[in-house]
Amino acid sequence: MMNVTIGDTLVYPHHGAVTVTDLRPRSVRGTDELYATMRVHTTELTIQLPLSKFEYVGVRNVIDGDEFNRVLAVLREPLVEEFSNWSRRFKANQEKMAGGDIYRISEVVRDLWRRDATGGVSAGEKRMLQKARIILESELALTLACTPERAAAVVDTTLSEEVAA
């Protein structure tokens, strides 16, 4: 089980960066567990989750410098075309987003950004790109100790540095 204290900043899949605001035991259905209350940085949402479920839902620590460089490398890679049918592509990207893995989210941002640049994304894919960027940028802002706007600029600059295939 992950060691968590009040004030820790973590990453919660689907929501991005969160801060632990409270830890307290609760009894649910006769089982006593330690629950963490977390505030999502990009919204007004508050999440309560037993510590025993952190790994199951994918709550993890913020990436470090080496992992940050790997994220940038993923963003620089050329578009990976999995499916030409938008609905299959959408489903595949949803699955990538669901796990909360920063590299998979980076792939979604990269591929949808590159597709959008050529005018080929659906309205649903545009919304998914926005959500993926919010999650990615909120974590990069923590890693870089900068504003989300600065992190967004880093993402834009990096996406523009596509490595030739």
Domain ranges of the chain: 9-61, 65-159
Q: Does domain 65-159 fall into CATH 1.20.58.1290?
A: yes
Per-residue pLDDT tens over the stretch 36-85: 999 998 888 999 999 999 988 889 999 998 999 999 999 999 877 777 77
* pLDDT value, residue 118: 82
Strands 9-12 and 46-50: unpaired
* pLDDT value, residue 165: 47
Per-residue pLDDT tens over the stretch 79-104: 777 777 778 889 999 999 887 889 99
User: How many other CB atoms sit within 10 Å of the CB of residue 108?
Assistant: 23
- Give, in words, the CATH class of 9-61: mainly beta
Q: Give the neighbor-by-neighbor strand order of the sheet with 16-28.
A: 46-50, 31-40, 16-28, 9-12, 60-61
